[in-house]
Amino acid sequence: MYRTTPLFTDLVIDSRDIIGRIEELRAERDHEEDGAKWMREHPEEAAELALLESFQEEAEGYADDWHHGVTLIRDDDFVRFTRDLLKDHGTIPRDLPWYVVIDWEATAKHIRADYTAVDLDGVTYWIR
């Protein structure tokens, strides 16, 4: 089972989690004899389903691999994401001397140029 809390509180989201949550909510709705009744009885879930379906429709257009797993990075976590990305790929040596200072904000800004901003319920995420 996927999560029952909104995804847009996460710093990093995998598109497959969004797909899974949509499928879970649709299954709940379709399990009912009357989908409109489910929507009336579960207004929060119905609103979440509509939000996620709309978001997925927008985000799919920016990522060819949406159904195979695309990482969405929350705007306020992009600097940390950039630092980790560059260290993990070996671009920044792990044993960098303490006196070398990297402007991570500027570096993140340059890397973010390869990403597209998408809005999920008022929260900006970056997708590539």
Whole-number pLDDT of residue 32: 83
SS3 78: helix
Report the chain's mean pLDDT, rounded to a whole number: 90
- pLDDT tier at 52, thresholds 50, 70, 90: very high
Q: Helix 43-60 and helix 15-31: axis angle, to 10°?
A: 140
Domain coordinates in residue numbering, the chain: 7-127
Q: Which two tokens stand for residue 59?
A: 């985000």
Please determine, for residue 4, whether its predicted confidence score (pLDDT) is greater than 50.
no
Question: How much is the average pLDDT of 25-39?
Answer: 88
Question: How much is the average pLDDT of 28-53?
Answer: 90
pLDDT tens track for 97-121: 999 999 999 999 999 999 999 999 8
Whole-number pLDDT of residue 34: 81
pLDDT tens track for 56-76: 999 999 988 999 999 999 999
Question: How much is the average pLDDT of 41-50?
Answer: 93
Whole-number pLDDT of residue 53: 96
- Residue 82 neighbours by CB under 8 Å, 6+ apart: 104, 107, 108, 111, 112
Q: How far apart are CA 63 and CA 72, in angstroms?
A: 10
Q: Checking DSSP bridges between strand 123-127 and strand 71-74, what pairing results, if any?
A: antiparallel
- Percent residues over pLDDT 70 in the chain: 94
